[in-house]
Structure 1
Amino acid sequence: MIAIVAIVAALAGVFFPIGYLPIFWSLVALVTVMVLWANFGDLMNLILVWFVSVSCFSYLFWRENIDFIGGISFNITIDRLFILVLVLVAVLALFIGRMPIKPAPNVLRVILVLLAYLTFSLLYSGFSSIAEVRPHFRLAGGYYFPLIVLLVTYFAVNNEPQIKKICWFFLFFGLYLAITAWAEHFKIWSIVFPRYIADPEYGIHWGRARGPFLVSASLGITLVFCFFNNLYLASRTVGPVRSWIHLVNLLMLPAIFFTQTRSVWLAMMICAFLWIGMVRRIRSRVAVMMLFLAAMIVGGAIFWSDILSRDRTQGGVTDPYPVYARLGLAKMTWQMFCDHPILGVGFGHFRDHAANYPQDPTSKYIRFGSRLMEHNNFLSILAESGIIGLTLYLIMLVMIFRHSLRLYRRIPPDASGWVSRDLVILFWILMVDYLIDGMFRETSVDPFNNGLFFAFTGLILAVDYLLDYRSDPAKALESSSCMPFQA
């Protein structure tokens, strides 16, 4: 190793100007770390670091714009550089045999077909758009990056301690988000990070808790998942640690409310009923559900006047303008679909065609909707990629659910390790959370939550694959705590 370093140093001194040597040695250090990580590191750690980078160190933290031929521009950001590193390390790990090669499940083939079709749609319709979020960014952040995260998770997960690590990560990440939401609500800007959260010029939903995403829905949906992740984690801990986890969840509940986002509150309620109704360890489901309903009724009675208010900062839910906008967008989407039923108007080009469809400028629905991008993921796919794109997307979701249902049925009901039926229920909660979010906004602009959903999809696929070898302990999950899953 010392000889190699000496040779590289000598060559660098000969072929590189002295001003470029710091850059050269930085690249050498990066390559060295990548090779070492591919040999000895856990790729799941890199995925978790990517989640931090895409939420806190994205384009508002630092970016460098690069222009390509044809007027195409692309921002280089920390999270995009990091996912490139993730891909290179994963390829190295596969090449040297450090990460096992697993067969591609059918759902992965469908995802690849969907991605190929959306890429074709983008290439066919062009990269230019009047939309603030460019089509190629939506394709990369909404589909390419999540697919990479899914693939690496699927290949990297081989034991239960990795699942434990993931759960602990989202406990601490959720705690950071909750503290940030409290700080935003009470305007304690000195403890907010990144600093741009405190700048009203960035993002949307200023005045509501937005977190590092600068979008209240993204923050809320993530907090909802972290809340139930913590419940799953608490069920596998004892003593003071379990009590501390429950205290963290108590901190999260007001943070979810501080987002002032109705879709987030709806997701929280539905996911709560799903958790109460399905988790094995809850003794009396009826009693818990009744207590939950009673708490909702009492809270509603106390804050009824605020709830009926149109002011979101007071907790009001009767603000009609977002409803008008979504109805107007739905009308335009249907008209677009009728005109372009097979291929759609082109991926990422809803805004370019929306101006051609408002027929009644006096309509309050058209007035509010004509200036926005589609606020429903399913309708957006229908308008931009036609019936082909929506069909592929729905097939993907159905197949993901079928894989998770198969895994749920294969795990014994009395399994109590980190791989249990509760893990699948947690995934279903994430799926419901993700789909509710997609009913009220276009989610391809949110790399974090897309990555979160597809990362856990990769986790479910990995565990399902590994349980195929339950008759062969040498090929099964490496952790001895997985013995209950053997036939």
Structure 2
Amino acid sequence: MTVPVPVRGLAPGRADLWRLAAAVGLGLVLIAGAMREGPIEGPRGVLIVAMGGAAGVVVFLAPVATALLLLLASFFRLAIHVSGLPAEPMTLLFAALVVAVAIATLRGTIRLHFGPLEAVMLAYLLWNVVSAVWPHVYPAAMPLTGEPIVIYRFIMMGTVFPFAGYVVGRALFQSASRIRVLLFGVLGFAAYSALVSILQFTGPRALVWPKYIVDKPSWPERAVGVFDQPVVNGLVMSMGFIAAVFLAKDRSLKGWQRVLAGLVAPLCAVGIYLTHTRAVLIVFGLALVLCAFIAPNSRSVFAGSLIGAGMFVVAEWATIASADRAEGGLGSPSEVQDRLNMIQTSFWAIREEPIVGWGIGRFAQVNTHHHQQWATDINWTRGYGYSSHENELGIAVELGLIGLALWLVVLAMVAYQIVRAFRRLPRAGVDGRTIAVLAVVSVVVWVGSGATVDMRYNDFVNLLVFLIAGAAVGASIRQRDEQAGKAREPAGAST
């Protein structure tokens, strides 16, 4: 079912561009102030809040700008802390996006779609809420520290953000101009991630922000990026590498824009290697293989990159196969044992509570009170008390087989929509196969990364991946509707 409103203004006009520029400018001022000052109180805090209110007035009338600002706030979520606000900037901008989309829908400038996929998304979201309020054996808290898990934020990051991203991407990012803006956004996020990843090891460290990347990274021997997490950092750079190649080959862009995109691609490749993480390198290699087969007008670039990466691995195999992460080694038996024990714990937990699960946010509790051992030759303490390191198993343990089934149906239906969009869209143009290929690759690397980490904790990539998927589907539907309209024109003109 589609909301029956007329579709107008899909391509941004001059007023839309002015609102976009004003909103982005105000957002950057706010973020710059927060970066420089940290927590702000008193008159300066009032000023920041006032500027935020002014930005809110602007973004309410520009949902595209609001979506981009939300991505920006989510990207820097760990680094930005502004006291005195009723919620963190990311949450406030998400609320602004909801209002902006609602206003645009009422004005008839966009249309929202509610079909079988959206219905299953809603059912999965409601199941998360039911699990949050249902009584469970263990509290939603980290058992080893007692730190509570804020369930509503957990649901927002792992469920609301990706689903809203798909809906917004489908409704807003349909035209070539807006998809190009989205691609440059991906390029910018990946370029920043690559630069701080390289500077983390080469310096000068004074240029790195946020400072926890160099002062107190959770993994000192790996490129953690602004997320302080090497897998998510590598995922963003993998997506950025693909976007950079596409933009560098886009002849509709200015020369300097293509050169800039061409420079970002090798930076991302270096940053990906510096994560020193097997999962990152595997999904990046998988992305190159996929693009070498399905990418329009760029297959030779991806094939050449794949060959170059293979030659590098062969030449550096002795180092890569070692367990010395600081030197680029990927061997880590202890991490494998962690995951094996957690997998065994997951299987036990699913057998014990197969239908409704142990409760959302309770995996670490189960893994503490009922920790299992994969085999007798694996140390029992490996993986003890950790949160889930596998996305689907974490869902099955916490939400039961009902939650897992709903989630898998969502993934299957999103995949079907993307494949159908890929087949419908023309080969040429960023609103053609380019966005479709990026959507395919993004979802594949996102699902692949979920085999080693619980993606529900990572709001930015959840939002971005599903936003790109929605954009691909929206572009295909827009072009289908335009073709159908052209096909009806001669008959209408003759009557």
The interval holding the TM-score normalised by the smaller chain is: 0.7 to 0.9
Aligned counterpart, 1:326: 339
How far residue 309 of structure 1 moved from its aligned partner, in angstroms, is: 1.3
Aligned counterpart, 2:73: 53
Map 1:132-281; keep pairs closer than 5 Å: 133-200=149-216, 204-237=218-251, 239=255, 241-281=257-297
Aligned counterpart, 2:362: 349
Q: 2:72 matched to 1:62? A: no
The answer as to whether partners of 2:189 and 2:236 remain within 8 angstroms in 1 is no
Mark the runs of 5 or more structure 1 residues left unpaired by the alignment.
1-19, 67-74, 477-487
Q: 2:306 matched to 1:306? A: no
Specify whether residues 33 and 319 from structure 1 end up closer, same or farther in structure 2 by C-alpha distance, changes over 3 A only: closer
Q: C-alpha distance in 2, partners of 1:113/1:401?
A: 18
Q: C-alpha distance in 2, partners of 1:103/1:252?
A: 35
The answer as to whether partners of 1:99 and 1:156 remain within 8 angstroms in 2 is no
Describe the superposition over 1:306-329 as per-residue Cα deviations: whole angstroms up to 9, x where unpaired. Answer: 112111111112211110000000
Root-mean-square deviation (CA), in Å?
Answer: 3.0
Which of the residues 439, 449, 454 maps onto 2:466?
454
Specify whether residues 186 and 458 from structure 1 end up closer, same or farther in structure 2 by C-alpha distance, changes over 3 A only: same
Which of the residues 67, 71, 87 maps onto 1:76?
87
* DSSP-derived class of the 2:479 partner: helix
* DSSP-derived class of the 2:388 partner: coil
The answer as to whether partners of 2:365 and 2:385 remain within 8 angstroms in 1 is no
Aligned counterpart, 2:14: none
Q: In structure 1, what residue type is equivalent to 2:317?
A: W
The answer as to whether partners of 1:204 and 1:214 remain within 8 angstroms in 2 is yes
Aligned counterpart, 2:351: 338
| Structure whose CA Rg is larger | 1
Aligned counterpart, 1:481: none
Aligned counterpart, 1:421: 433
Specify whether residues 475 and 94 from structure 1 end up closer, same or farther in structure 2 by C-alpha distance, changes over 3 A only: farther
Q: C-alpha distance in 2, partners of 1:184/1:26?
A: 31
Q: C-alpha distance in 2, partners of 1:144/1:234?
A: 33
Specify whether residues 37 and 316 from structure 1 end up closer, same or farther in structure 2 by C-alpha distance, changes over 3 A only: closer
Q: C-alpha distance in 1, partners of 2:364/2:203?
A: 35
Q: C-alpha distance in 2, partners of 1:244/1:349?
A: 45
How far residue 36 of structure 1 moved from its aligned partner, in angstroms, is: 4.4
How far residue 423 of structure 1 moved from its aligned partner, in angstroms, is: 2.0
Q: 2:393 matched to 1:382? A: no
Q: 2:479 matched to 1:467? A: yes
Specify whether residues 24 and 169 from structure 1 end up closer, same or farther in structure 2 by C-alpha distance, changes over 3 A only: closer
The answer as to whether partners of 1:376 and 1:440 remain within 8 angstroms in 2 is yes
Specify whether residues 139 and 363 from structure 1 end up closer, same or farther in structure 2 by C-alpha distance, changes over 3 A only: farther
Q: C-alpha distance in 2, partners of 1:62/1:179?
A: 23
How far residue 447 of structure 1 moved from its aligned partner, in angstroms, is: 0.4
Q: C-alpha distance in 2, partners of 1:351/1:226?
A: 32
Describe the superposition over 1:151-185 as per-residue Cα deviations: whole angstroms up to 9, x where unpaired. Answer: 33332234220001111122222211111111102
Q: Aligned residues, how many?
A: 439
How far residue 448 of structure 1 moved from its aligned partner, in angstroms, is: 0.6
Aligned counterpart, 2:16: none
Specify whether residues 366 and 125 from structure 1 end up closer, same or farther in structure 2 by C-alpha distance, changes over 3 A only: farther
Q: Percent identity?
A: 21
Q: C-alpha distance in 2, partners of 1:230/1:195?
A: 27
How far residue 343 of structure 1 moved from its aligned partner, in angstroms, is: 0.8
Specify whether residues 125 and 475 from structure 1 end up closer, same or farther in structure 2 by C-alpha distance, changes over 3 A only: farther
Specify whether residues 187 and 109 from structure 1 end up closer, same or farther in structure 2 by C-alpha distance, changes over 3 A only: same
Mark the runs of 5 or more structure 2 residues left unpaired by the alignment.
1-41, 489-495
